[in-house]
Structure 1
Amino acid sequence: MKNIFFTLLIFLLGIVGFAQNNKKETLFTINDKPYYTDDFSRVYKKNLNLVKDDSQKNLDNYLDLYVGYKLKVAKAKQLGLDNEDKYKAELKSYRTQLAKNYLNDSKVTDELVNEAYNRTTEEVKASHILILVEQNATPADTLKAYNKLVTIKNKIDKGADFSEMAYQFSEDPSAKNNKGDLGYFSVFKMVYPFENAAYTTPVGKVSNIFRTRFGYHILKVEDKRENRGDVQVKHIMLLLPKGADKATADKVEQNIIDISKKIKQGESFEELAKQLSDDKSTASKGGLLQRFSSGELTSKEFEDVAFSLRKPEEVSEPFQSQFGWHIIKLVNRYPIKSFEDSKIELENRIKNDVRSVKITNFLHEKLRKKYSVQRNNELYNAIAKTVTDSVYSNKWKQPQNVKPFETTLLTINTDKKVSGVAFLQYIAAQQKGKLQTKPVGNLVAELYENFVNNELVTYYDDNLETEFPEFHYVMEEYRDGLLLFDLMEKQIWDKAKNDSIGLQQFYNTNKNKYMWKNRYKLDIYSSTDKAAIEKARKYLKKGKSIDYIKEKLNTNDKITIITKSGQFEEDYEAIPELQIKKKGITDVAQKGNYYFVANVAEVLPSQPKTIDECKGKLVSDYQQYLEENWVSDLKKEFNVNINTAVFEKVKKELQL
């Protein structure tokens, strides 16, 4: 619900790309609090091409919406919702996410995006040998692991078989089964140093030794191939319920085999999908799925079969996934996405990947040039003397008397003062990471530089609202939007869900809006063979069962009749053509190339749905009803004054 709410809020507020107008006048007041013309104009202009409802482009209507929005925010603040811990935490979380866009350098990011995109065009097949060593291992253990891999690589360089060396010596547990073979992979599938080695080593060659967080590696590139790109298919799916017994599983399997045979007999894949596929979201479209690439679906089996089809119109054999049984028809294959289509996705992935360290380092360099940094050398030397070798075993303690260290150690841009105590605390926290730089004087110097980098980023982050007006506007709008969401949840949405009496009254008043169409409980038989359907009708007249009819008509390994049973509304598939008037056996009807007959067990006339049957739509409508009345009440509760003359001036400016 929150995602939907904020999507709608963006349309109302246009929270990105602001261009502030220096001229502003009071457009309206709420309890004497002024709201200005520049904000109203900015939001309206941003939304003008986004809203589809012409009534919202009308300035009078838009002002009414805008005032209503500000009234709700005023009510939220009146109730103190902006002081709640949950609100503060979520606002802080949002600001952290938004600030990330300002903490990443575009030049370095672009270089990494270009590199990642170039690698998406290719998949690498490689084998590797790993010698494990922890990131914080002692120099002796690190050297031992490195030398062990040097010995192995020397044997390979002299002609030893890579896969056999992997089987004998690799400390990757999977090597005993796959001899180090990792199969094909592409960008972001491996840790960044491993990916770099794979993409920069020629086919048939062995890489230099390199290190990751797991230890030391060498790899051999076995092959490189083009990325498979995207594919679009149609499918027919028969669900197999979890925990289904053997009889049920066998029945589902037989049904998919029957459908496959009908397709091979020349019947329309799309028509069979409409009639029989259990994927309701695609059945009406002949089973058509959106195009997808490797790794996008939750079923590897489905992807592998889809990518195995080479020519449009090619149809797979039935196959099983974790969801049930499928048949796939290829619509088209597509090359990998263009750079422009991939750019945003790649940027987001890079920000969450170890390669983002490059971006962080560049930011540190930029901030050291942007801001002045001064160190109190006397205090720094005093702190350095307190740090002993016990820091390497996580046993170092800060001085008991910290008063001498409470003065300023670091000054950033004259206005940010950081005490020596803060640096002592930083050192204490860092020793938990098994520090290695020696001697201890060098370690303190290294930690201080990292400490300065952290403080510079914090200072920059704290001043984003001052340095970037658009950041300030976005945060202001989000503060109000988050308040509005909390208010709506408490006063409208929760009430609509929990007010059973009010919901019942609303339902009673609007019952005619929640109607079932005419429905029929029936078995429906379909075939492209009119004679077969007519035979099926004769059997039905004699009271024969579905199994009997299928046994008689689906002979010689040929599927002539397909059936579907259940309760359906009057516009389902071929029901309009059947012209059902009463219970019993219908006449034969035709739709396209198919013939149908139905055995109608029950006719259910149009009638109101029960509250449970229309609960989702009913609650949504009730929420809207409550909100419309609530805004009217807020206008009575708060004193709203609109400056009509100013608004007329704004209208003229916006309508030019």
Structure 2
Amino acid sequence: MSVKQFFFALFILVASATSAQNNSKEVLFTINEKPYYSDEFSRVYKKNLDLVKDESQKDLGQYLELFIGYKLKVNKAYKLGLENSTRYQNELKTYRSQLAKNYFNDTKITEALIAEGYNRLQKEVKASHILILADENATPEDTLKAYKKIEEIRKKALAGDNFGDLAVQYSEDPSAKENKGNLGYFTAFRMVYAFENAAYNTPKGQISKITRTRFGYHILKVDDVRENRGEITVAHIMILNPKPEDTDQEKAKNTINDIYKKIQQGEKFEDLAQQFSEDKSSSSKGGVLNKFGSGQLSSEEFENAAFSLNTPNEISKPIQSQFGWHIVKLIEKHPVKTMAEMKVELETKIGKDERSKKLVTSLNEKLRKKYSYKRDSKQYGLLAKLVTNDFYENKWVLPANTKDFTATLLNINGTKKIEGKTFLEYIEKQQKSGIAIKPVPKLVDALYERFLDEQLTAFYDDNLETEFPDFANVMEEYRDGLLLFDLMEKEIWERAKTDTIGLQSFYNEHKSEHLWKNRVEANIFSSTKMDVMKKALALIKKKTDLAKIKETLNVDNVVNIMVKSGLFEEGSDTLPKGMKFEVGVSDIFKEGEYYFITQVEKVLPAGVKTFEECKGKITNDYQQYLEQRWVDDLKKEYTVKVNMDVFERVKRQLKP
């Protein structure tokens, strides 16, 4: 998640559901006489009530302060003219284009695409490919050259040449040198639509027809087809791979094998994960990971080990990935959902996928019925005569006197008039499209039909806010959110990062709030066997080397004892709760099913963290401090008036 995406996730808590103002509603507050209404505040509060984690934000008085602060910031952004920046306008345009796609769908076609996508999701295809690059806007000559090249490669593949070797030799996909074109297993919606079609329409073991995508020309070899394995939830214990400079390259492997032996001896997976797993994101949860499906992780080895498990609580042998050594425990398998369960998800995927092109044709037909449009025949005749055979060679140029063609060629709904020169400019751009309809009059007719569809679509797009209030509301919400992000970046975030003197001063004033708890440098011995621990304690008191202790007690391929060494802070999940923070060797004590001995070599008392040790937290606190001070300044800069009578009525209405 990017910083901006994260910000908008938080922004939605305050700003979502913002809509065009309704003067029939009661004015809750004003900022410099600009009114903000009670219905908007109530709608936002109710929508976000279950989302906020900070209880103070559920308090209506606190929430009103947040809401006013948000509106003050938006006002400030407009005052500074941030809406005029090119970056802002481009980002807003991009977002609007994405959002508008939801309003361009045809239900019947969408349903067919949902069914197709769902049916394909039942299978996973393993395929290799060879790519010859060809830009979508490449010249016909370059496009033909790329096609001829892939055609020759396909002939070699069909003749029996090894596909992987061909990929290494010819493919222009940079990864082909390493993977021989092998893409692994994938299912629907993982590849661009045309590529997916080729994969699912090519029988196992065969070579596909030549396929064009936005990247270029491809041929595929389908290596395997299997049932979709669905998704899976597992837990794991991970010991990181050794670094090249580590002296003991076998340490990770030996450690994971010791842990595996302890599991076989009956020790709990979850306890061992908490004590020894070096995946800190999952160790405190007993090693449990978020559910995943084929191709979603970066390690095929790990996925295969996970999916090979069949029974809940079944545990794999140690396996190695590019990240480290793992032991995997199956929690639950999640089969592919029903179509009804996946419908909304599939529809969203289709809207973002090249499948949506199928919806364009349907939209064109709908818009031709929805709007009235009229072409000026005389103007069209004059324009058509200007186009020559030079078009086919990409040599046709606009007439020098385009000002002579400013008369209206097309009138849409009686409100939008398109000049003749706009059509001429469109024709000039279409020379690169490769369209080769002959003779020229038929070419111009075909181009006009495309032009008409584009203009109707543009008209529909331009009027989405008018025709669809929900669309207008979301755009208003995003518009303010984007401005607010730019404003916060300018006024708060960058300043907190670059104001080293202010940050250091803030640390000096608040360092007493950033403390280490007591820490120990220690060795922690654990075993499920009291007799083993007694022997360990005797060896420890003799100051026996740790490696020697393990070697002495872990015999006959049985792991009887394990040792975890390091610097530990009081309250750490890896520490036994009964551990004493004092130098020396403890007696044997028991917690749960484990016996422990702690050998404390050094005690570091509680104390203030250095600036570097808490820089991230200090920076975050400093940002919040600057923001609050800034909001206080905004309240002085702007005149805010709250209608308390209205607010009291709002509170009564929102009271549970």
Bin of the TM-score, shorter chain as denominator length: 0.7 to 0.9
- Whether contact under 8 Å (1:116, 1:346) holds in the other structure is yes
Matches within 5 A, 1:368-407: 368-407=368-407
The aligned amino acid for 2:160 is Y
Shift of 1:170: 8.6
The verdict on how the C-alpha distance between 1:258 and 1:416 changes in structure 2, with shifts beyond 3 A counting, is same
Q: Could you tell me whether the CA contact under 8 Å between 1:235 and 1:329 is conserved in 2? A: yes
Q: Is the 8 A contact 2:316 2:329 kept in 1?
A: yes
Once the 2 structures are TM-superposed, how far is the Cα of residue 272 of structure 1 from its aligned partner? 1.7
Query: TM-score normalised to the size of structure 2?
Result: 0.86
Q: Alpha-carbon deviation of 1:489?
A: 2.4
- Alpha-carbon distance between aligned partners in 2 of 1:181 and 1:623, rounded to the nearest angstrom: 47
2:4 match: 2
Q: Which residue of 2 aligns with 1:11?
A: 13
- Counterpart position of 1:157: none
The answer to whether the 8 A contact 1:125-1:222 is kept is yes
CA distance in 2, matches of 1:477, 1:25: 21
Aligned to 1:544: 544
Q: CA-to-partner distance for each residue in 1:591-622, whole Å, 9 max, x for gaps?
A: 22222222211101111222222222222223
Distance in 2, Cα, partners of 1:47 & 1:465: 24
> What is the CA-CA distance between 1:120 and the residue it aligns to?
0.7
1:222 Cα shift?
A: 8.9
Cα deviation 1:191-231 (Å, max 9, x = unaligned):
54565576578x78999978655779899x89754311111
Q: What is the CA–CA distance in structure 1 between the aligned matches of 2:493 and 2:184, rounded to whole Å?
A: 51
Matched, 1:173 2:166: yes
Quickly say closer, same or farther: Cα 1:554–1:429, change in 2 above 3 A: same
Provide closer, same or farther for how the CA distance between residues 48 and 204 of structure 1 changes in structure 2, counting only shifts above 3 A.
Answer: closer
What is the letter of the counterpart of residue 115 of structure 1?
Answer: E
Secondary structure, aligned partner of 2:258 = helix
Q: Does the alignment pair 1:302 with 2:302? A: yes
CA distance change for structure 1 residues 341 and 53 in 2, over 3 Å: closer, same or farther? farther
What's 2:96 paired with? Answer: 95
What secondary structure is seen at the aligned counterpart in 2 of 1:613? helix
The question of 1:441 aligning with 2:434 is answered no
1:115-170 CA-partner distances (Å, limit 9, x unpaired)? 201221233578999999999879xx89x99xx99x99xxxxxxxxxx99551699
Partner of 1:74: 75
Give the 3 Å change call, closer, same or farther, for CA 654–438 of structure 1 in structure 2: same
Secondary structure in structure 2 of the residue aligned to 1:167: coil
AA in 2 matched with 1:327: I
Aligned to 1:472: 472
Unpaired segments of 5 or more residues in structure 2? 170-175
Q: Secondary structure at the match of 2:635?
A: helix
Equivalent position of 1:160 in the other structure: none
For the 8 Å contact 2:374–2:411, the answer to whether it is kept is yes
Query: Could you tell me whether the CA contact under 8 Å between 1:407 and 1:419 is conserved in 2?
Result: yes
Aligned-partner residue type, residue 229 of structure 2: R
Query: Is 2:82–2:88's contact at 8 Å kept on the other side of the alignment?
Result: yes
Instruction: Mark the CA change 1:420 to 1:616 in structure 2 (over 3 Å): closer, same or farther.
Output: same
Q: 1:532 to 1:454 in 2, by over 3 A?
A: same
Q: What is the deviation of 1:493?
A: 2.6
Matches within 5 A, 1:11-410: 11-15=13-17, 23-51=24-52, 55-123=56-124, 165=158, 167=160, 173-174=166-167, 185-189=186-190, 192=193, 195-196=196-197, 212=212, 225-245=226-246, 247-410=247-410
Question: Residue 589 of structure 2 contacts residue 595 of structure 2 at CA under 8 Å; is this kept in 1?
Answer: yes
- The AA in structure 1 aligned to 2:512 is N
Q: Residue type of the partner of 1:465?
A: E
Equivalent AA in structure 2 for residue 7 of structure 1: A
**CA distance in structure 2 between the aligned counterparts of 1:350 and 1:569, rounded to whole angstroms:** 50
Q: Tell me the SS of whatever aligns to 1:387.
A: coil
- Residues paired across the two proteins, number: 637
Query: Structure 1 residue 237: deviation in Å?
Result: 0.7
Pairwise CA distance, 1:265: 2.9
Post-superposition Cα deviations, 1:337-390, rounded to whole Å, max 9, x if no partner, equal 343553344334323433221111111111111111211222222222222222
Q: Contact 1:166/1:179 (CA < 8 Å) preserved in 2?
A: no
Letter in 1 for 2:15: L
- Give the drift of 1:431: 1.0
Letter in 2 for 1:109: T
Checking the alignment, whether the CA contact within 8 Å between 1:589 and 1:597 is kept in structure 2 is yes
1:524–1:596 Cα contact (<8 Å) kept:
yes
Is the 1:578–1:596 contact (alpha carbons within 8 Å) kept by the matching residues of 2? no
Alignment partner, residue 589 of structure 2: 589
Give the conservation status (yes or no) of the 8 Å contact 1:197–1:207: no
Identical-pair percentage: 52
How far is 1:628 from its partner? 2.9
Give the residue type in structure 1 aligned to 2:5: N
Letter in 1 for 2:368: R
Q: Which moved more, 1:399-408 or 1:50-59?
A: 50-59
Q: Matched residues in 2 for 1:48 and 1:132: separation?
A: 51
Does the C-alpha gap of structure 1 residues 523 and 340 become closer, same or farther in structure 2, counting only changes over 3 Å? farther
Q: Is the 8 A contact 1:521 1:600 kept in 2?
A: yes
Give the AA of the match of 2:386. Answer: T
Distance of 1:550 and 1:169 partners within structure 2: 51
User: Structure 2: which amino acid aligns with 1:117?
Assistant: Y
Distance 1:216 1:490, change over 3 A: closer
Q: Which runs of 5+ in 1 are unaligned?
A: 153-162
Cα separation, 1, equivalents of 2:220 and 2:638:
72
CA deviations 1:175-199 (Å, max 9, x no partner) are: 9999999986532356545655765
SS of residue in 1 equivalent to 2:380: helix
Task: State whether residues 157 and 207 of structure 2, in contact with CA within 8 Å, keep that contact through their aligned partners in structure 1.
Answer: no
Counterparts in 2 of 1:492 and 1:170: CA distance versus 1, 3 Å: closer
* Partner-residue secondary structure (3-state), 2:290: coil
Moved more, 222-231 or 327-336: 222-231
Give the AA of the match of 1:514: H
Change (3 A) 1:453 1:249: farther
**Residue 478 of structure 1 aligns to which amino acid in structure 2?**
Y
Does the residue aligned with 2:559 lie in a helix, a strand or coil? coil
**Closer, same or farther: CA 652–543 of 1 in aligned 2, 3 Å:** closer
Letter paired with 1:30: I
The one-letter amino acid of 1:336's match is V
